[in-house]
A and B are shown apart, each in its own frame.
Chain A
Amino acid sequence: MVVDTLAEERADKVFHALADATRRDIVLRTLEGEHNISALARSYAMSFAAVQKHVAVLELAGLVTKQRRGREQLVRGNVDTIRKAYRLLEQLEAVWLGRIDRIGEMLAEERNGGDR
Protein backbone atom coordinates (compact mmCIF):
# COMPACT_ATOMS: atom_id res chain seq x y z
CA MET A 1 0.00 0.00 0.00
CA VAL A 2 3.05 2.24 -0.34
CA VAL A 3 1.70 3.51 -3.63
CA ASP A 4 -1.59 4.52 -2.04
CA THR A 5 0.16 6.46 0.66
CA LEU A 6 2.29 8.25 -1.90
CA ALA A 7 -0.76 9.15 -3.97
CA GLU A 8 -2.51 10.49 -0.89
CA GLU A 9 0.52 12.49 0.11
CA ARG A 10 0.69 13.93 -3.37
CA ALA A 11 -3.01 14.80 -3.26
CA ASP A 12 -2.52 16.50 0.09
CA LYS A 13 0.31 18.53 -1.38
CA VAL A 14 -1.84 19.69 -4.27
CA PHE A 15 -4.64 20.81 -1.98
CA HIS A 16 -2.21 22.47 0.39
CA ALA A 17 -0.50 24.18 -2.53
CA LEU A 18 -3.76 25.55 -3.90
CA ALA A 19 -5.14 26.62 -0.52
CA ASP A 20 -3.17 29.87 -0.69
CA ALA A 21 -4.34 32.83 -2.82
CA THR A 22 -0.82 33.85 -3.87
CA ARG A 23 -0.02 30.33 -4.96
CA ARG A 24 -3.22 30.03 -6.94
CA ASP A 25 -2.32 33.30 -8.63
CA ILE A 26 1.18 32.05 -9.44
CA VAL A 27 -0.26 28.90 -11.02
CA LEU A 28 -2.67 30.89 -13.17
CA ARG A 29 0.02 33.33 -14.31
CA THR A 30 2.53 30.65 -15.12
CA LEU A 31 -0.06 28.55 -16.92
CA GLU A 32 -0.31 31.39 -19.41
CA GLY A 33 3.42 31.57 -19.98
CA GLU A 34 6.86 31.30 -18.48
CA HIS A 35 7.73 33.80 -15.75
CA ASN A 36 11.03 34.32 -14.08
CA ILE A 37 10.91 34.32 -10.31
CA SER A 38 12.24 37.86 -9.94
CA ALA A 39 9.49 39.23 -12.18
CA LEU A 40 6.91 37.21 -10.31
CA ALA A 41 8.21 38.48 -6.99
CA ARG A 42 7.69 42.08 -8.08
CA SER A 43 3.98 41.35 -8.60
CA TYR A 44 3.38 40.62 -4.95
CA ALA A 45 3.75 42.67 -1.79
CA MET A 46 6.16 40.23 -0.26
CA SER A 47 9.84 39.40 -0.27
CA PHE A 48 11.61 37.56 -3.05
CA ALA A 49 12.34 34.74 -0.58
CA ALA A 50 8.65 34.40 0.29
CA VAL A 51 7.69 34.13 -3.38
CA GLN A 52 10.49 31.63 -3.93
CA LYS A 53 9.06 29.55 -1.09
CA HIS A 54 5.59 29.60 -2.65
CA VAL A 55 7.06 28.43 -5.94
CA ALA A 56 8.88 25.61 -4.16
CA VAL A 57 5.59 24.40 -2.64
CA LEU A 58 3.96 24.44 -6.09
CA GLU A 59 6.90 22.61 -7.62
CA LEU A 60 6.68 19.87 -5.00
CA ALA A 61 3.01 19.42 -5.82
CA GLY A 62 3.84 19.09 -9.52
CA LEU A 63 1.76 22.15 -10.40
CA VAL A 64 4.68 24.11 -11.87
CA THR A 65 8.09 23.25 -13.21
CA LYS A 66 11.21 25.28 -12.64
CA GLN A 67 14.04 25.69 -15.09
CA ARG A 68 17.28 27.55 -14.79
CA ARG A 69 18.40 29.61 -17.77
CA GLY A 70 21.60 31.50 -17.06
CA ARG A 71 20.90 33.55 -13.98
CA GLU A 72 17.17 33.35 -14.37
CA GLN A 73 14.87 30.82 -12.79
CA LEU A 74 11.89 30.31 -15.02
CA VAL A 75 8.61 28.98 -13.69
CA ARG A 76 6.03 27.38 -15.89
CA GLY A 77 2.62 25.99 -14.98
CA ASN A 78 2.23 22.33 -15.79
CA VAL A 79 -0.74 23.02 -18.01
CA ASP A 80 -0.83 19.95 -20.23
CA THR A 81 -0.89 17.43 -17.48
CA ILE A 82 -3.38 19.32 -15.39
CA ARG A 83 -5.72 20.12 -18.23
CA LYS A 84 -5.61 16.69 -19.79
CA ALA A 85 -6.10 14.88 -16.52
CA TYR A 86 -8.93 17.21 -15.58
CA ARG A 87 -10.80 16.71 -18.83
CA LEU A 88 -10.49 12.97 -18.65
CA LEU A 89 -11.62 12.96 -15.04
CA GLU A 90 -14.67 14.97 -16.09
CA GLN A 91 -15.66 12.39 -18.64
CA LEU A 92 -15.16 9.53 -16.25
CA GLU A 93 -17.06 11.49 -13.63
CA ALA A 94 -20.12 11.56 -15.88
CA VAL A 95 -20.26 7.76 -15.79
CA TRP A 96 -20.50 7.73 -12.01
CA LEU A 97 -22.89 10.66 -11.85
CA GLY A 98 -25.23 8.68 -14.07
CA ARG A 99 -24.99 5.67 -11.78
CA ILE A 100 -25.56 7.77 -8.67
CA ASP A 101 -28.64 9.33 -10.29
CA ARG A 102 -30.06 5.90 -11.03
CA ILE A 103 -29.41 4.75 -7.46
CA GLY A 104 -31.22 7.84 -6.18
CA GLU A 105 -34.18 7.10 -8.43
CA MET A 106 -34.30 3.46 -7.37
CA LEU A 107 -34.38 4.35 -3.70
CA ALA A 108 -36.94 7.12 -4.23
CA GLU A 109 -39.25 4.77 -6.14
CA GLU A 110 -38.96 2.25 -3.35
CA ARG A 111 -39.90 4.82 -0.70
CA ASN A 112 -42.88 6.07 -2.70
CA GLY A 113 -44.03 2.52 -3.27
CA GLY A 114 -43.82 1.89 0.47
CA ASP A 115 -45.95 4.92 1.34
CA ARG A 116 -48.87 3.82 -0.74
Chain B
Amino acid sequence: MTVTSVRKDPEALTMTFTVELDATVERAWQLWADPRQLERWWGPPTYPATVVDHELAPGGRVTYFMTGPEGDKHGGWWEVLAVEPPNRLELKDGFADETGAPNDSMPTTVTVVTLAEGEAGGTTMTLESRFPSVEAMEQMVSMGVEEGMGAALGQIDGILAEARVD
Protein backbone atom coordinates (compact mmCIF):
# COMPACT_ATOMS: atom_id res chain seq x y z
CA MET B 1 0.00 0.00 0.00
CA THR B 2 1.26 3.45 -0.83
CA VAL B 3 -0.19 6.18 1.32
CA THR B 4 0.57 9.67 0.15
CA SER B 5 0.27 13.04 1.74
CA VAL B 6 0.99 16.12 -0.29
CA ARG B 7 1.73 19.56 1.01
CA LYS B 8 1.80 22.33 -1.52
CA ASP B 9 3.00 25.72 -0.48
CA PRO B 10 2.37 28.29 -3.21
CA GLU B 11 4.15 31.00 -1.22
CA ALA B 12 7.43 29.16 -0.73
CA LEU B 13 7.05 27.38 -4.12
CA THR B 14 7.67 24.01 -2.55
CA MET B 15 5.85 20.74 -2.72
CA THR B 16 6.39 17.90 -0.27
CA PHE B 17 5.19 14.34 -0.62
CA THR B 18 5.22 11.76 2.15
CA VAL B 19 4.85 8.21 0.95
CA GLU B 20 4.70 4.98 2.95
CA LEU B 21 6.30 2.18 1.00
CA ASP B 22 5.91 -1.54 1.76
CA ALA B 23 9.62 -2.16 1.34
CA THR B 24 12.77 -1.89 3.37
CA VAL B 25 14.91 1.24 3.13
CA GLU B 26 17.57 -0.73 1.22
CA ARG B 27 14.97 -1.93 -1.26
CA ALA B 28 13.48 1.54 -1.68
CA TRP B 29 16.94 3.01 -2.29
CA GLN B 30 17.33 0.72 -5.31
CA LEU B 31 14.42 2.54 -6.95
CA TRP B 32 16.80 5.48 -7.29
CA ALA B 33 20.19 3.77 -7.35
CA ASP B 34 19.48 1.15 -10.02
CA PRO B 35 19.00 2.79 -13.44
CA ARG B 36 16.89 -0.12 -14.73
CA GLN B 37 14.49 0.32 -11.82
CA LEU B 38 14.46 4.07 -12.23
CA GLU B 39 13.42 3.60 -15.86
CA ARG B 40 10.36 1.67 -14.75
CA TRP B 41 8.82 4.54 -12.82
CA TRP B 42 10.36 7.86 -13.86
CA GLY B 43 8.42 8.29 -17.11
CA PRO B 44 4.72 7.57 -17.67
CA PRO B 45 3.88 4.45 -19.73
CA THR B 46 3.32 6.66 -22.80
CA TYR B 47 6.74 8.33 -22.35
CA PRO B 48 9.05 5.61 -20.99
CA ALA B 49 12.44 6.77 -19.77
CA THR B 50 15.80 5.39 -20.86
CA VAL B 51 18.65 6.18 -18.50
CA VAL B 52 21.98 6.81 -20.24
CA ASP B 53 24.46 7.91 -17.57
CA HIS B 54 23.87 7.22 -13.91
CA GLU B 55 26.47 8.35 -11.44
CA LEU B 56 25.08 8.75 -7.94
CA ALA B 57 28.02 10.62 -6.45
CA PRO B 58 28.32 14.27 -5.43
CA GLY B 59 28.65 16.27 -8.65
CA GLY B 60 27.73 13.17 -10.65
CA ARG B 61 25.27 13.20 -13.53
CA VAL B 62 22.27 11.15 -14.41
CA THR B 63 21.05 11.62 -17.97
CA TYR B 64 17.97 10.15 -19.58
CA PHE B 65 15.54 10.60 -22.40
CA MET B 66 11.88 9.79 -22.65
CA THR B 67 10.39 8.44 -25.86
CA GLY B 68 6.93 9.58 -26.86
CA PRO B 69 4.27 7.74 -28.89
CA GLU B 70 5.54 9.32 -32.15
CA GLY B 71 9.11 8.33 -31.42
CA ASP B 72 9.76 11.87 -30.17
CA LYS B 73 12.56 12.08 -27.64
CA HIS B 74 12.70 14.39 -24.64
CA GLY B 75 15.95 14.63 -22.73
CA GLY B 76 16.55 15.35 -19.08
CA TRP B 77 19.35 15.33 -16.55
CA TRP B 78 20.06 15.35 -12.84
CA GLU B 79 23.04 16.81 -11.12
CA VAL B 80 23.64 14.93 -7.88
CA LEU B 81 24.12 17.54 -5.14
CA ALA B 82 24.41 15.15 -2.21
CA VAL B 83 24.03 11.44 -1.70
CA GLU B 84 23.96 9.34 1.48
CA PRO B 85 23.00 5.76 0.60
CA PRO B 86 20.50 4.47 1.47
CA ASN B 87 18.84 7.42 3.17
CA ARG B 88 19.21 10.65 1.28
CA LEU B 89 19.58 12.01 -2.23
CA GLU B 90 19.58 15.63 -3.26
CA LEU B 91 19.39 16.37 -6.94
CA LYS B 92 18.94 19.18 -9.39
CA ASP B 93 16.69 18.18 -12.24
CA GLY B 94 16.59 19.89 -15.63
CA PHE B 95 15.81 19.61 -19.32
CA ALA B 96 18.21 18.60 -22.09
CA ASP B 97 18.24 19.11 -25.85
CA GLU B 98 18.08 16.35 -28.52
CA THR B 99 21.76 15.56 -28.03
CA GLY B 100 21.37 15.16 -24.27
CA ALA B 101 23.20 18.41 -23.48
CA PRO B 102 21.63 20.43 -20.64
CA ASN B 103 19.30 23.14 -21.85
CA ASP B 104 20.38 26.08 -19.70
CA SER B 105 17.52 28.29 -20.78
CA MET B 106 15.05 25.97 -19.05
CA PRO B 107 14.35 26.06 -15.32
CA THR B 108 15.69 23.50 -12.89
CA THR B 109 14.10 21.99 -9.79
CA VAL B 110 15.91 20.89 -6.66
CA THR B 111 14.46 17.76 -5.08
CA VAL B 112 15.49 16.19 -1.80
CA VAL B 113 14.61 12.54 -1.32
CA THR B 114 14.80 10.97 2.12
CA LEU B 115 14.18 7.35 3.01
CA ALA B 116 13.65 6.48 6.65
CA GLU B 117 12.53 3.34 8.42
CA GLY B 118 8.76 3.54 8.79
CA GLU B 119 6.29 1.39 10.67
CA ALA B 120 6.18 -2.41 10.38
CA GLY B 121 9.42 -2.69 8.43
CA GLY B 122 8.28 -0.25 5.76
CA THR B 123 9.91 2.92 4.53
CA THR B 124 8.77 6.50 4.76
CA MET B 125 9.89 8.32 1.64
CA THR B 126 9.70 12.09 1.55
CA LEU B 127 10.22 14.13 -1.58
CA GLU B 128 10.60 17.84 -1.36
CA SER B 129 10.76 19.81 -4.59
CA ARG B 130 11.60 23.46 -4.67
CA PHE B 131 10.91 25.57 -7.75
CA PRO B 132 12.93 28.68 -8.49
CA SER B 133 10.02 31.00 -9.34
CA VAL B 134 6.42 31.12 -10.49
CA GLU B 135 7.71 31.95 -14.00
CA ALA B 136 9.91 28.87 -13.97
CA MET B 137 6.99 26.66 -12.96
CA GLU B 138 4.91 28.20 -15.71
CA GLN B 139 7.63 27.46 -18.23
CA MET B 140 7.87 23.85 -17.05
CA VAL B 141 4.15 23.33 -17.25
CA SER B 142 3.95 24.94 -20.69
CA MET B 143 6.65 22.54 -21.85
CA GLY B 144 4.10 19.86 -21.02
CA VAL B 145 6.15 18.45 -18.17
CA GLU B 146 5.41 14.83 -18.95
CA GLU B 147 1.90 13.86 -17.94
CA GLY B 148 1.46 16.95 -15.80
CA MET B 149 -0.81 18.61 -18.31
CA GLY B 150 -3.81 16.47 -17.57
CA ALA B 151 -3.95 17.52 -13.95
CA ALA B 152 -7.12 18.87 -12.43
CA LEU B 153 -7.19 22.62 -12.11
CA GLY B 154 -8.76 25.10 -9.83
CA GLN B 155 -8.57 23.77 -6.31
CA ILE B 156 -8.20 27.34 -5.07
CA ASP B 157 -11.34 28.23 -6.98
CA GLY B 158 -13.06 25.43 -5.10
CA ILE B 159 -11.91 26.81 -1.79
CA LEU B 160 -13.09 30.27 -2.73
CA ALA B 161 -16.45 28.98 -3.91
CA GLU B 162 -16.94 27.12 -0.64
CA ALA B 163 -16.08 30.21 1.31
CA ARG B 164 -18.68 32.21 -0.59
CA VAL B 165 -21.38 29.66 0.24
CA ASP B 166 -20.49 29.93 3.95
A: residues with CB less than 8 A from B are: 4, 7-8, 10-11, 13-15, 28, 31-32, 61-63, 81-104, 106-108, 110-111
Contacts and interface: CB of A to CB of B under 8 A. Distances in A.
Nearest to B22: A107
B20 to A, nearest CB: 10
Secondary structure at chain B's binding surface: helix, strand, loop or mixed? mixed
A18 to B, nearest CB: 10
A10 B155 CA distance: 22
Contacts, number: 132
Secondary structure at chain A's binding surface: helix, strand, loop or mixed? helix
A20 to B, nearest CB: 15
B134 A91 contact: no
Given A95-B147, A98-B147, A103-B2, A85 B11 contact: yes
Contacts of B10: 81-86, 89
Given A101-B2, A103-B2, 8 more contacts: A10-B11, A28-B163, A83-B156, A86-B10, A89-B15, A98-B147, A102-B41, A107-B23
A92 B148 contact: yes
Contact of B2 (A28, A92, A100, A111): A100
Contacts of B37: 106
Given A85-B134, A107-B21, A94 B13 contact: no
Contacts of A97: 4, 6
